[in-house]
Structure 1
Amino acid sequence: MKLLKNLLKIFLLLIVAGFLFIVFANYSIKKDSESFISYSVSDLPKVKTAVVLGTNKSLSNGNPNLYFKYRIGAATELYKSGKIESIIVSGDNSVKGYNEPEQMKLDLIANGIPADKIYEDFAGFRTLDSVVRAKEIFGQNKVIFISQKFHNERAAFLAQKFGIEAFGYNAKDVNKYAGLKTNLREYFAKAKAYLDIWFNVEPKFGGEKIEIK
């Protein structure tokens, strides 16, 4: 009986410790990144390249994914403002028939972005992969990430840890009800970002370097 009580205490302590770690990670990443991300184009520096972080164009029920739509809109606005010269579209292409970078590229072209200014990163399976590959594969040491605020916070945090001077242009967010699942998942994703740094996690794939002219 005493052993059972001790195990229960340890279990509860681990739960509390885990909860406190998640709170710490979220607070720390938000605080450290707040001066580098913005909803205003005028707040951002002029850089060579922006990275659009991937998501699927459509939801599982077939409806349009507003996260995707707003990121494409933000990328278009940023390019046409003259703040960037080229765009990396980084996302998942691990399954046949599922190609986030290609979807993003086609929509950017439809918005008037020249095709030769868009570079596809087909191995952006996670935010960490997209961040590190921007430097290691595409040779960029200073970038603007384009995604929703919660996502840019994490991307900017990871980039700084990997020696990248990073900024974030916040795309319009979806309403709280529609984005409830994503927002809840983000609490754990920020904690995972800290663990990735502590354990020196690397991108799933490397590859040949791609020159952005």
Structure 2
Amino acid sequence: MKIFKKILNTGLILIVVSALFVWWSNTTIESDTEAYNSFNINDIPKEKVGLVLGTGKTLANGQPNLYFNYRIEAAVELYKAGKVQYFIVSGDNSKKNYNEPEDMKLALMEKGVPENHIFEDFAGFRTLDSVVRAKEIFGQKELVIISQKFHNQRAVFLAQQNGMTAYGYNAKDVNKAMGFKTNLREKFARAKVYWDMFFGVEPKFGGEKIQIP
């Protein structure tokens, strides 16, 4: 019986510590990036490159993915306002018939962005990879990141931790019911940011340098 109580108490302590760690991670990342994220395009400084973070064009049920559509709309707004000249579209291309960078590139072109102003990063498997590779592979130490606010907060924080100056232009978010799972997953993803920092996790792939004019 005593052993059972010890196991129970230890389990409860771990749960409490883990919950506090998740809360602290989220609070810190939000506070450290608050001044660098905005829904107002006038708050975003002019930079040469915008980094569009990847997501699938459609959902598992075949319906359009609003996260994708809203990110493309936000990217086009930046381009037409003269806030960025080029884009890195970074996402997952690890499965057959699934190509986030190519889908984003085609969507941007349909909205009027010239093809030679779009650079594809096919190894953006995680936000960490996309951000660090923008610096290490594409040579960008200053950029604008395009995604939803909850995602931009983590991405901008990662950029800051890697010696970059980044601003997040917040794309329109989906309604709370539709985005519940995504937002919940984000809470734990922020805790993992510190885990990755502690263990020195790096992008999965490197590669040859790509020069943006």
- Please give the TM-score of this superposition, normalised by the length of structure 1: 0.99
Amino acid at match of 1:43: D
The aligned counterpart of 1:13 is 13
The aligned counterpart of 1:37 is 37
The aligned counterpart of 2:48 is 48
The aligned counterpart of 1:193 is 193
The aligned counterpart of 2:127 is 127
CA distance in structure 1 between the aligned counterparts of 2:118 and 2:160, rounded to whole angstroms: 24
CA distance in structure 2 between the aligned counterparts of 1:65 and 1:193, rounded to whole angstroms: 25
CA distance in structure 1 between the aligned counterparts of 2:7 and 2:176, rounded to whole angstroms: 39
The aligned counterpart of 1:160 is 160
Offset at residue 3 of structure 1 (A): 1.9
CA distance in structure 2 between the aligned counterparts of 1:6 and 1:177, rounded to whole angstroms: 39
1:52 alignment partner, SS class: strand
1:148 aligns with 2:151: no
Deviations 1:24-65 (A, max 9, x none): 001110111010010011101111101000000000000000
CA distance in structure 1 between the aligned counterparts of 2:192 and 2:155, rounded to whole angstroms: 12
CA distance in structure 1 between the aligned counterparts of 2:64 and 2:83, rounded to whole angstroms: 28
The aligned counterpart of 1:66 is 66
Offset at residue 72 of structure 1 (A): 0.2
2:173 alignment partner, SS class: coil
1:35 alignment partner, SS class: helix
The aligned counterpart of 1:118 is 118
CA distance in structure 1 between the aligned counterparts of 2:175 and 2:2, rounded to whole angstroms: 49
Structure 2 stretches lacking a partner, 5+ long = none
CA distance in structure 2 between the aligned counterparts of 1:159 and 1:196, rounded to whole angstroms: 14
CA distance in structure 1 between the aligned counterparts of 2:95 and 2:173, rounded to whole angstroms: 27
Structure 1 stretches lacking a partner, 5+ long = none
2:35 alignment partner, SS class: coil
CA distance in structure 2 between the aligned counterparts of 1:20 and 1:106, rounded to whole angstroms: 42
Q: Percent same amino acid at aligned positions?
A: 62
CA distance in structure 1 between the aligned counterparts of 2:44 and 2:57, rounded to whole angstroms: 26
Deviations 1:104-151 (A, max 9, x none): 000000000000000000000000000000000000000110000000
CA distance in structure 2 between the aligned counterparts of 1:199 and 1:80, rounded to whole angstroms: 41
Q: Once superposed, which parts of structure 1, at least 4 consecutive aligned residues long, lie more than 3 Å away? A: none
Q: How many pairs were matched up? A: 213
- Please give the TM-score of this superposition, normalised by the length of structure 2: 0.99
The aligned counterpart of 2:106 is 106
